[in-house]
């Protein structure tokens, strides 16, 4: 990464942890990371643990994240969680368009875009996830896929709101598989995404954007990833579940 962008390390706890388990891990992170000033740090517990974790994180530099949000503010949407409810729970950042949402639950670019615009209009920061499947990589359409997902996900988002958006490049074949993109391969896609952003928002805005890498980020590969010019942070799944593995990722530069 380059100096003008602040490293942003985020943990996505997915469908793991009861409220009690979430409190235990968040309490350790809150203590150990209380002095971190030079990085942006976030954890996204499941919805049912948000209120409890908010209380633990209060007064610490760790931001509270949500893993998804509805595309509407209220209404007859059984099982959905409104951004307004997330605001009430103390959430600052919402992860949208995660590949598990796209591929298991059929979220389209149009739906992700509605969610992105609503979350931004409600004052949240957003992490917009993009990334190709193994088949897409093998057939050589990685750039086309990430360009479409980035441009469609951000359709209608103005330059001012863009400052509250982080892009997470997460190749689907690297998520939870232990296979990760080489730092060079990942950086090439990050650079390409920055170019896509520059087309819509100009060079200056695109240089200011944080682009995280996600997909089997571990304590032993984070350093090499963060050395790359266009990799500004990480969205971490499995390794964010335990302080023993998440702390060394956040503190990769120690
Ligand atoms: P992983 O997940 O670190 O377990 O590969 C990353 C993600 O899905 O955000």
d(CA 192, CA 16): 33
Nearest 5°: the CA angle 144, 113, 174 is 50
Whether residue 177 is predicted with pLDDT greater than 80 in this model: the reply is: yes
Joined tokens for residue 206:
């695109």
Question: 1 pLDDT exceeds 80?
Answer: no
pLDDT score recorded for residue 192: 98
The pLDDT score that the predictor gives to residue 57 is 98
What pLDDT does 86 receive? 98
pTM: predicted TM-score of the whole model, two decimal places: 0.97
The pairing of strands 93-96 and 125-130 is parallel
Average pLDDT over residues 104-114: 98
Query: Tell me: the pLDDT tens digits for 179-195?
Result: 878 999 999 999 999 99
Integer Cα distance of 169 and 150 in angstroms? 10
Which of these ranges, 169-173, 174-178, 214-218, has the smallest mean pLDDT?
174-178
pLDDT of residue 179: 80
Residue 12 CA to ligand 1 centre (angstroms): 7
What local confidence, expressed as pLDDT, does residue 4 receive?
A: 83
Ligand 1, residue 100: give the atom nearest the CA. Answer: 8
Please tell me the predicted confidence (pLDDT) of residue 116: 98
- Which residues are designated catalytic? 98, 170
Q: Report the pLDDT value the prediction gives residue 108, as an integer from 0 to 100.
A: 98
Supply the pLDDT for residue 180.
Answer: 77
Torsional sign, CA 173, 148, 130, 181: positive
Please state the atom number of ligand 1 nearest to the C-alpha of residue 238. Answer: 4
Ligand 1 centre to CA of 177 (Å) is 9
* Residue 23, pLDDT above cutoff 80: yes
* Predicted confidence (pLDDT) per residue in 151-167, tens digit: 999 999 999 999 999 99
> Is the pLDDT score of 2 beyond 80?
no
Mean pLDDT of all residues in the chain?
Answer: 96
The DSSP letter of residue 180 is -
Per-residue pLDDT at 50 exceeds 80: yes
Q: Which two tokens stand for residue 22?
A: 């979430």
Residue 180 CA to residue 251 CA, distance in Å, equals 20
Whether the predicted pLDDT of 39 surpasses 80: yes
- Asked whether residue 110 carries a pLDDT value surpassing 90, the answer given is yes
**What phi and psi values does residue 128 have, to the nearest 5 degrees?**
-95, 120
> Using one digit for the tens of pLDDT, what is the confidence trace for 117-148?
999 999 999 999 999 999 999 999 999 999 99
What pLDDT does 251 receive?
Answer: 97
Confidence of residue 225 (pLDDT cuts 50, 70, 90): very high
CB within 6 Å of ligand 1 — which residues? Answer: 12, 170, 175-176, 214-217, 235-239
Strands 62-66 and 93-96: parallel
C-alpha span between 251 and 76 (Å, rounded): 44
């Amino acid at each position: 990464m380059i100096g003008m962008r602040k490293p942003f390390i985020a943990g996505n706890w997915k469908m793991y942890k009861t409220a009690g388990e979430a409190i235990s891990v968040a309490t350790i992170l809150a203590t150990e990371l209380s002095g971190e000033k030079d990085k942006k740090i976030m954890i996204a517990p499941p919805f049912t643990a948000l209120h409890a974790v908010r209380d633990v994180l209060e007064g610490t530099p760790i931001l509270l994240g949500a893993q998804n949000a509805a595309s509407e503010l209220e209404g007859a949407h059984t099982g959905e969680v409104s951004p307004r409810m997330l605001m009430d729970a103390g959430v600052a950042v919402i992860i949208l368009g995660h590949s598990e949402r796209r591929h298991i639950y059929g979220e389209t670019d149009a739906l992700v875009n509605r969610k992105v615009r609503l979350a931004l209009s409600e004052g949240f920061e957003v992490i917009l996830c993009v990334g190709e499947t193994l088949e897409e990589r093998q057939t050589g359409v990685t750039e086309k896929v990430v360009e479409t997902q980035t441009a469609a996900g951000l359709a209608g988002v103005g330059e001012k709101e863009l400052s509250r958006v982080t892009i997470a490049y997460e190749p689907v074949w690297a998520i939870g598989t232990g296979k990760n993109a080489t730092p060079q391969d990942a950086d090439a896609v990050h650079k390409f995404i920055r170019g896509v952003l520059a087309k819509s928002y100009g060079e200056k805005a695109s240089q200011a954007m944080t682009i995280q890498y996600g997909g089997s980020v571990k304590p032993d590969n984070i350093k090499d990833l963060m050395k790359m010019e266009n990799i500004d942070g990480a969205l971490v799944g499995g390794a964010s579940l335990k302080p023993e593995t998440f702390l060394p990722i956040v503190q990769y530069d120690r």
